Structure formats: structure tokens, C-alpha cells
Amino acid sequence: MSKQNNTFERVLVGVDDSDDAQMAFRYAMHRCIKDGSTLIITSILESGEMNVYQALTKDYVHGERSELEEHMQEYRKVALEAGVKKVELMVAEGDPGETIVKDVIPSSEADLLVIGSLSKKGIRKYFGSQAAYMAKYSPISIMIIR
């Protein structure tokens, strides 16, 4: 499909609990409905936010990850109910900007990345501080929502 008509086949959106990420999610969802695209929702479990004890405790990491995966199922449900035809989920671990650029984009085969511009303070502050990094290094088109 040519990009000239401005449609993307696989739209990747990074979600966390910030307002900007929620706006990015809504934008990506509506764009996928309009264009008939696949929506790929990703969230990154940041290893940097765990203390040494937590990092050494597999149960803690597993608990955090399964909580995040459950949360992602809620996003999937919202998207499908809104009318997105195909939704995929990807949870990865590491530094958000780098992980999305180097791992998630290539393995998801996305052709558009949608993220929020601001970060939330606290445990789920992933994407905002990372927006500049992703804009600079993303191998695909990127849209930053604010």
C-alpha cells in the first residue's frame, strides 16, 4: 500500500497511565478505525525503576509484568469495542525509548509510531522523557500527541 494516501497498515501506540498517552491511544485507535489498520499496543516494563532486591526477585518482576499484561487487555477491549478490527499487544522490558526503537518496532513491523509527549511522574512515567529519543531514532514515521 503506498503511503501517498497517508494510510498506515500497522499503527504502534505506546501506552502508560499519563494523560498524553491516553490521548495518543485514542488518536491511534480512531486512525485505525478510519484506515482499517491493525493497532499494536505496547507498554514497557522499566527495569530501571526496580531496586536491586526487586530485580533479583523473579516473583516481583513476574507480578509487575502480569499486572501490566492485564492492564493491556483492558486497552485491547476498549479498541475492539470502539471498532478496531485487529489489535495486537506487545509487552517488553527495558529502557522505553530504546526498547521501542530497537526491539518493538522491528518485531511488530509497524509503519507508524504514536506516542504522547509528556511523562507522568512515578512508576509509569515511560514515554514522555523518551519522546525526543524516539523521534530522533525511530526507523518509521512517528506522531507525537499533545
- Burial (Cβ within 10 Å: 0-12, 13-18, ≥19) of residue 83: exposed
pLDDT for the residue numbered 146:
81
pLDDT for the residue numbered 132:
83
In a domain? residue 143: no
CATH of the domain at 109: 3.40.50.620
In a domain? residue 102: yes
In a domain? residue 55: yes
Amino acid identity at 53: Y
Residue-range definition of the domain harbouring residue 70: 33-120
Q: Please say whether the beta carbons of 37 and 111 come within 8 A.
A: no
In a domain? residue 107: yes
In a domain? residue 144: no
Task: Tell me how many domains the chain contains.
Answer: 1
pLDDT for the residue numbered 131:
84
pLDDT for the residue numbered 123:
43
pLDDT for the residue numbered 139:
97
Mean pLDDT by 10 residues, the chain (146 residues): 72 89 95 97 79 67 82 96 97 89 97 83 52 92 91
Give whole-number Cα distances, 45 to 7, 72, 126, 136, in Å: 30, 12, 9, 22
